[in-house]
Each structure stands twice: as structure tokens, then as C-alpha cells.
Structure 1
């Protein structure tokens, strides 16, 4: 038996692992550019970067974002796998969610740096100020600031009212 903990003590949680390809505007991107973007837009701190042989691609990088971790790497379809960056898939099926002190300011800063607003910030029935963006590398982020606590009963009633109005209606509800 090994004395090594099979689950590192500082990583008992799910860590998103993002594959980075070209920017959504079609210009070259890659993990190195994404690391710089996440640091500038969200305050991420790079703690580890391992380059692939030749030094042209990031094989693995680790960023601290708030109290969590984010792993990322360049796409490597040339190694026989399927391309898996949002640029290769024509989108992403995952949204990364982040709580921040000021949802509006965070989204505004990201937009000035090339992000696309998917949903402008608004006050939501579940008690958060909430909006969403697509970063320049095609990854979706929901950004929220918790504004008030809502009881499960009030949240259920507000959700029922929202769904009764239909998808094209205002989604906040106080």
C-alpha cells in the first residue's frame, strides 16, 4: 500500500478542465492566450504550466480562481483524438458558474476584453444578480452576485410563475 493519498487534500472537488482552441472571432488563440485573458478578466492566478515538447502548446495549466481551480490545455487532435475545443465543436455544452462581488462590473470588464454577452445582468427570482457571457475562446460563463436569500417555497412559486409566462418573458421576478 502506498502512503500517498489517492485524492490530494487540496483537491477533493470537481475541477473544470477546459480545452482551448482558436478565438471565437477566428483569430489564433490557444491556452497561453486564455491564461492571460482569465488572469486579466477574472483575476485568475496561474500556479502551474507544463508545455508540450517543442514549447508551442500548453499541455496542462492550473489556475486558481477564487477558492477553486481551473485546469486548461491546448487542443491536441493531432494525437489521434477528436478536437474538443468550443471552436472545433461549434459551441460548448458546459457553463462555468462564478460568484463575484459585482456581477455587472465583472461582465462589463470581460466584454471590454472581447467576451460576448449572452444574457445581460439582471436580478433573478432566486436572489442573485445574474448574467452570462461567452469568452473569446468559446467557453460560457454565468456570473452572479448573491443579493438576497430566498426560501425554497418562494423560489418554487417564483419559478412556477416564470415558467407559466413562457420563455420569452421577463425572468427576474423580484
Structure 2
């Protein structure tokens, strides 16, 4: 395989999730394995040049998504050129806003959405990389920044 770390999402409707990630985030579908019962056992997308795997829920083997569990402790950070536009597109496609897109202390413009399948995404445009001394000044004691 040789791909390093690859996120593997579980969704209650993987076919709809694939369409969401393709239409909203600009992913491309690489392959899909559909079982006789119609559930997707495995799919591979390419998102921002990196692989993203996903499948339908298969509770009989312990594969369940965040909606089944009532939320997720995992977040994904996706660099995009225009986080405002992508967040609006995501909401129009069924996502909910967790934190609206806004200017951040680190100089980025970012916001958080929950996709219709329960996965949390931070949509951000890094903007300019600030030197650590400027970051420390901007956060004003809220955080200790180490190098």
C-alpha cells in the first residue's frame, strides 16, 4: 500500500456521502466495491490529492459511523481556497455549521462544519504564515506556543 495514514470514514449512506464529498469538496471517486445487498463495503476517493476511504455501516462486524454513536471525537482539516464558499456549499448540501467561518488568531480564515454523515470538518485557508512571535502576540496569553 505505502500510503501512510489514510482516513477511513463510515457513513450510514456511503453512496450519498461520496456524492457530497465529490460535489462539495471536489473529491474524485477512484473505486467502489458494492456488495450484493447494495451496501458499499469499500470506496476510495481522492481529496486534495490524498486518499480517503469510506464504507457503509456494517454493524454486524462493528463498523458504525458517528451518527450511530451520537457524534465524533475526530476532526478533519481541509485546506481550501475559499472556506466561506465551501462552507456555504456544504450547508446547502445538508451540512450544519458548528463554528462559522471567521478570521483566526493564526492568520487563517476557517470554520467548522458537520457533514450530513456526522463527520466534523475544519475548512480553512491558511493565508499568511505568521512568525511565532506574532502568533504569541495575537493569542494574548490564551495559549503557550512552543517551538
Task: State the TM-score, normalized to the length of structure 2.
Answer: 0.91
Which secondary structure does the structure 2 equivalent of 1:161 belong to?
Answer: coil
Equivalence for 1:17: 8
From the superposition, tell whether residues 160 and 84 of structure 1 become closer, same or farther in structure 2 (CA, over 3 Å).
farther
Partners of 2:56 and 2:140 in 1: how far apart? 42
Residue 129 (structure 2) pairs with residue 153 (structure 1):
no
Equivalence for 1:67: 49
Runs of 4+ in 1 over 3 A off after TM superposition: 160-163
Partners of 1:71 and 1:149 in 2: how far apart? 30
> Which of 108, 111, 114 matches 1:131?
111
Residue 96 (structure 2) pairs with residue 113 (structure 1):
no
Shift of 1:75: 1.1
What do you get for the CA RMSD once the two structures are aligned? Answer: 1.7
Partners of 2:45 and 2:37 in 1: how far apart? 19
Shift of 1:16: 0.6
Partners of 1:129 and 1:140 in 2: how far apart? 17
- For structure 2, the residue ranges without an aligned partner over 5 or more in a row are none
Task: State the TM-score, normalized to the length of structure 1.
Answer: 0.77
Larger radius of gyration: 1
> Which of 106, 130, 140 matches 2:120?
140
Q: Choose between structure 1 and 2: higher strand proportion.
A: 2
